[in-house]
Amino acid sequence: MKKNKVLIRVVVAFSILSLSLIKLVSAEEPDKNVGSLQEIGNQMAERLLELSPQMQVERVISLEELGMYAIEISGGRTIYGMEDGIHFFTGNLFRFDGGITNLSELRQNKKRKQLMNAISDEDTIAFGKGEGRFVETINVFTDVDCGYCRKLHSEIAEINALGIKVRYLAYPRGGIGSEGYEKLVTAWCSKDSQATLTNLKAGRTVEMSNCESPVKDQYFLGQQIGISGTPAIITSDGRLFPGYLPAGELSKRIFGMNKNN
């Protein structure tokens, strides 16, 4: 491996988190005295892309108060860089403020909230639509053949009764073109999407159909924000609960915790 593309990894372990501190060695290191944090971050992102062309950088954010910048990568990951333009680390960034606050997760919450708010009800299969008693709306990335997706759906009436509206988004675990993908397209294309989705989740035979649907876009959206399995539950304030939660526990998580907006 060429010297100007060597990554020297130093693992620094803490009691509350583990981060990898990395030095990027290059024949042409950036001038540490020139340029804003934003500019330095943009340069770092370009250099990382040279080493890993498959990486997808979504945006670079200047964290002026910390003397750092954040490079957000598709899949919900973040790279934090130092102002010297050489050192960076991956992982979560925490803050002591009477407790321990995960600043990385707060930023991801805000991002997920914005993305979910941009999705209209018409592009989801919603349970609880039109009933004014609902005080919380959750978005659930789902697959029809996933056992825990089926278990969650079997409690949909109880979840609704607890004041929670459910908007389903499609996430075929087998990917685009898989049997699960075709089933989800069928549900979204059905005249009675709720009944079709329920029948598919119950394992009943449903005649396949096709139309222009948001299934593919929702699958890619799930990948973008780091969804790796189903069900994946996103609350109205952007918190992510991966996996199945019983109706009562889901209610506690939603209403019993202080929300971080």
Domain CATH for 198: 3.40.30.10
- pTM score, two decimals? 0.79
**Residue 152 predicted with pLDDT over 60:** yes
Say which range, 9-18, 162-171, 212-221, has the weakest mean pLDDT.
9-18
Does residue 139 sit within a domain? yes
Say if residue 72 is in the same domain as residue 129: no
Say if residue 163 is in the same domain as residue 230: yes
Say if residue 96 is in the same domain as residue 130: no
Say if residue 160 is in the same domain as residue 235: yes
Residue range 233-251: average pLDDT? 96
Among the listed residues 112, 149, 167, 239, the single catalytic one is 149
Among the listed residues 112, 143, 150, 167, the single catalytic one is 143
Say if residue 144 is in the same domain as residue 251: yes
Does residue 105 sit within a domain? no
Query: Which of 100, 125, 146 is the last residue in one of the domains?
Result: 100
Using alpha carbons, select from 213, 156, 204, 157 the residue that is nearest to residue 184: 213
End-to-end alpha carbon distance in the chain: 45
Using alpha carbons, select from 227, 38, 16 the residue that is nearest to residue 30: 38
Does residue 184 sit within a domain? yes
Say if residue 123 is in the same domain as residue 244: yes
Structure tokens at 41: 């971050």
Residue 23 banded pLDDT, cuts 50, 70, 90: low
pLDDT digits (tens, 9 = 90+) for 99-125: 999 999 999 999 999 999 999 999 999
Does residue 236 sit within a domain? yes
Better pLDDT: 152 or 56: 152
Give the residue numbers spanning the domain of 147. Answer: 116-255
Using alpha carbons, select from 2, 4, 60 the residue that is nearest to residue 27: 4
Residue 14 banded pLDDT, cuts 50, 70, 90: very low
Say if residue 58 is in the same domain as residue 122: no
Determine the Cα–Cα distance for residues 234 and 211; give it in Å rounded to an integer: 27
Number of domains in the chain: 2
Residue 35 banded pLDDT, cuts 50, 70, 90: low
Query: Which of 67, 100, 133 is the last residue in one of the domains?
Result: 100
Say if residue 93 is in the same domain as residue 166: no
Does residue 261 sit within a domain? no
**Residue 22 predicted with pLDDT over 80:** no
Using an 8 Å Cβ cutoff, are 168 and 125 in contact? yes
pLDDT recorded at residue 257: 61
pLDDT recorded at residue 75: 84
Is position 211 annotated as part of the catalytic site? no
Say if residue 155 is in the same domain as residue 185: yes
Determine the Cα–Cα distance for residues 41 and 230; give it in Å rounded to an integer: 34
Among the listed residues 146, 150, 167, 239, the single catalytic one is 146
Say if residue 145 is in the same domain as residue 64: no
Structure tokens at 205: 């035979």
Is position 189 annotated as part of the catalytic site? no
| Cα dihedral 238, 239, 244, 246 in deg (nearest 10) | -100
Determine the Cα–Cα distance for residues 250 and 256; give it in Å rounded to an integer: 9
Query: Which of 41, 70, 100 is the last residue in one of the domains?
Result: 100
Does residue 106 sit within a domain? no
Among the listed residues 112, 150, 173, 239, the single catalytic one is 173
User: Cβ contacts of residue 27 below 8 Å, gap of 6+?
Assistant: 3, 4
Angle in degrees, CA 38, 26, 3, rounded to 5:
155
Say if residue 226 is in the same domain as residue 124: yes
Say if residue 81 is in the same domain as residue 125: no
Residue percentage of the chain with pLDDT more than 70: 83
Does residue 108 sit within a domain? no
Determine the Cα–Cα distance for residues 40 and 29; give it in Å rounded to an integer: 11
Does residue 131 sit within a domain? yes
Using an 8 Å Cβ cutoff, are 184 and 146 in contact? no
pLDDT recorded at residue 258: 43
